[in-house]
Structure 1
Amino acid sequence: MTFNWKKPVLAVAMAALTAVPAFAQEMTLKLGHLANEENPWHLASVKFAEELAARTDGRIVVEVFPNESLGKEIDLINGMQLGTVDMAITGESLQNWAPMAALLAIPYAYKSIEHMDEVASGEIGEQINAEIIEKAQVHPIAYFARGPRNLTSNRPIETPADLNGLKMRVPNVPLFIDVWSSLGAAPGPMAFSEVFTSLQNGTIEAQENPLALIRSASFNEVQSHVNLTEHVRSWAIMAMAESTWQKLSEDDRKAVMEAAAIAQAYERDLFEKSLADDRAYLEANGMTFVEVDGAAFAAAAKDAVLSNVSDEIRPIVEGLFAE
């Protein structure tokens, strides 16, 4: 698909718009995100726009800007705070303003997607959202699951003992570096653009990412195993600038939340299908999937995780590990 970087993707319910005169349109919202047009985040954003247009008789139109065409993630957050961006899909980067947002992506805090859902939609999730609204001036309206991060390598890794000095790339995140060091690996930060070549020439032996990124980066060409460590489960937030939210009537806020709920369910269905498709593709292209001793990994990582989180969220993280 060819994308015109100079024009947004107009995501509106055309049937609703054709039934309503142009002068009835009262608000156009700009929604930016980093994914491409085939990604479930984008498709769910378009679905949100269609549902909101239908529920407001076309008075509220959402323009969706994929591929960072409205700005990178931090730019979008800053834009929502300044009132130049109405909506974005973002995640743990919000911890720069709201420390509790770090809970969106804590290694080994969530034992399954069901466990993560319980947290995200429960009391802890409400506390996270409240702090994000107060301190970041960003209003969460829905959340999307991210694919769990898994370790790829050229030999099976079933327990922490199997790591044994494994040279691996990690993002430049102190928490990630400390956790993998505590597990016995030899992690080092590296730009993602350098990972394929470094795996190919043996500079590193392993890397960790969600299945979708393992597939799109063609790591199956230089790695033979996907070890199902699922060490980071996380979610992203579809958010609206608090200043934009405050401009909405009670009826329009209700319409926004109804449209967001439909978009969230729609994205989850696409997400689950994409996980299955990515695994099937990687297996068909030579990768072996390895079940790991998840409890052993979590136990070995716990101290490193707790030493890297803020005092504010440490008791919550301790509780999540204990569940």
Structure 2
Amino acid sequence: MKKFKMLSMILAATLALTACGGGGDKSEPANGEGAASGEKITWKFGHLANEDHIWHQTAEKFGELLSEKTDGQIQIEIYPNNQLGGETDTINSIKAGTVDMVISGETMANWAPKAALMAVPYAFRDQAHLVNVIEGDIGQEIEEEIVEKVGLTPLYYHTRAPRNLTSNMPISHPDDLSGFSMRVPNVPLFLSVWEAAGARPQVMDFNEVFTGLQQKVIDGQENPLDLIHSAGFAEVQDYVNETEHVYSWIYILVGNEQLAALSDELKEAVFAAAEEAQVYGSDLYEEAFAEYRTLLTEAGMTFNSDVDQDAFREAMLPAIQSQLTEEQYAMYERILEVE
């Protein structure tokens, strides 16, 4: 956690120096004096989860902590359930200056190619392996590229439970995917690996998935158990097929310009609040994920544990090799080697 906070502070300092030396209208005042006069600052924070989700609960905690640490100078307005638009829309709104914060992960690969490694199928063995990557050199490289190419600064992160495929029939092997139409997020690699496995994937914003399943526009989708639960997919899907094809993480991010506009004292408060929110969110994760399997079972879903994960891994590997650039594939191999 300390390393993550320190990295973020270094990145923020770099942004501030760049802004001071850039000569543009949006540059920060010299000596870190931005927003130091006591003016009230409100950051709009949009994300896709609902109010019961640990991402939202942690975001609320972050807002409380930041308000306390700045004596109310910085307030966070949180908009769950894609109220400010889908993930890509929200990122674009941050770039336009109409929104300030977002939760995002591999979708950022559309700007920062290394972010694709945040969710490569079968790259991470388990939760411990995932955290070692996030908090090590590879995670640092990904974060730096996000700052540079997406224009967002990571504040803290959430690890995610593995992604599983949902459907209205059991799917245990790639052979079962013939004719199976499924939603994937706007991540080219996801399209490619599911095509290679035999499905018919299509990109769809998360807020459209429930209706798509209900109206049988698509046959299934893939997500971690928390989002399967919070989105109410048990109402329109019968099976959770334990493909466990992706372990991943997501960042809570703020726009570079919004961060650079703060005084040094306010920046320190932002990162201090983020560090505490990181711990709070990790504790919630441990408590919550043990419950989701029970909740989904009670809601009527059947867990299909008879999934040949090796067959899915083998089917997807050629797409991973062909879709990742040489640099991305080298990083993928480095991830596999992390203890």
Equivalent position of 1:44 in the other structure: 58
CA distance in 2, matches of 1:286, 1:66: 26
Could you say what secondary structure the match of 1:312 adopts? helix
Equivalent position of 2:328 in the other structure: 313
The verdict on how the C-alpha distance between 1:178 and 1:273 changes in structure 2, with shifts beyond 3 A counting, is same
Matched, 1:32 2:45: yes
Q: 1:196 aligns with which of 188, 204, 214?
A: 214
Equivalent position of 2:183 in the other structure: 170
Which piece of structure 1 moves more, 45-54 or 91-100?
91-100
Q: Which amino acid aligns with 1:302?
A: L
Matched, 1:230 2:244: yes
Structure 1 unaligned regions, length at least 5: 1-22
Q: Which amino acid aligns with 1:312?
A: E
Could you say what secondary structure the match of 1:37 adopts? coil
C-alpha root-mean-square deviation of aligned residues, in Å?
2.9
Contact 1:154 1:225 in 2 (8 A): yes
Matched, 1:187 2:200: yes
How far off is 1:287 after superposition? 3.0
How far off is 1:51 after superposition? 1.0
How far off is 1:75 after superposition? 3.4
CA distance in 1, matches of 2:218, 2:74: 50
Structure 2 unaligned regions, length at least 5: 1-35
Q: 1:256 aligns with which of 236, 261, 270?
A: 270
Contact 2:51 2:80 in 1 (8 A): yes
How far off is 1:310 after superposition? 2.9
Equivalent position of 1:57 in the other structure: 71
Q: Which amino acid aligns with 1:211?
A: L
CA distance in 2, matches of 1:67, 1:190: 18
How far off is 1:179 after superposition? 1.5
Contact 1:150 1:211 in 2 (8 A): yes
Q: Superposed, which structure 2 residues align to 1:136-175 within 5 Å?
A: 136-153=150-167, 156-160=170-174, 163=176, 165=178, 167-171=180-184, 173-175=187-189
CA distance in 2, matches of 1:190, 1:253: 37
The verdict on how the C-alpha distance between 1:212 and 1:197 changes in structure 2, with shifts beyond 3 A counting, is farther
The verdict on how the C-alpha distance between 1:249 and 1:303 changes in structure 2, with shifts beyond 3 A counting, is same
Pairs aligned (count): 295
Which piece of structure 1 moves more, 55-64 or 42-51?
55-64
CA distance in 1, matches of 2:51, 2:268: 27
The verdict on how the C-alpha distance between 1:158 and 1:65 changes in structure 2, with shifts beyond 3 A counting, is closer
Q: TM-score normalised to the size of structure 2? A: 0.75
Matched, 1:102 2:116: yes
Q: TM-score normalised to the size of structure 1? A: 0.79
Q: Which amino acid aligns with 1:269?
A: D
Report the identity percentage.
Answer: 42
Could you say what secondary structure the match of 2:251 adopts? strand
Q: 1:76 aligns with which of 90, 106, 112?
A: 90
How far off is 1:104 after superposition? 2.1
The verdict on how the C-alpha distance between 1:25 and 1:65 changes in structure 2, with shifts beyond 3 A counting, is farther
How far off is 1:219 after superposition? 4.4
Q: Which amino acid aligns with 2:69?
A: R
The structure showing larger relative contact order (alpha-carbon pairs under 8 Å, at least 6 residues apart) is: 2
Equivalent position of 2:7 in the other structure: none
How far off is 1:142 after superposition? 0.8
Deviations along 1:74-115, one digit per CA (max 9) or x if unpaired, are 333233334443322222232222221222222222222222
Q: Which amino acid aligns with 1:94?
A: M
The verdict on how the C-alpha distance between 1:151 and 1:74 changes in structure 2, with shifts beyond 3 A counting, is closer
Could you say what secondary structure the match of 1:313 adopts? helix
Which piece of structure 1 moves more, 109-118 or 242-251?
242-251
Q: 2:107 aligns with which of 73, 93, 102?
A: 93
The verdict on how the C-alpha distance between 1:168 and 1:96 changes in structure 2, with shifts beyond 3 A counting, is closer
How far off is 1:250 after superposition? 3.1
Contact 2:153 2:255 in 1 (8 A): yes
CA distance in 1, matches of 2:221, 2:154: 32
Contact 1:53 1:60 in 2 (8 A): yes
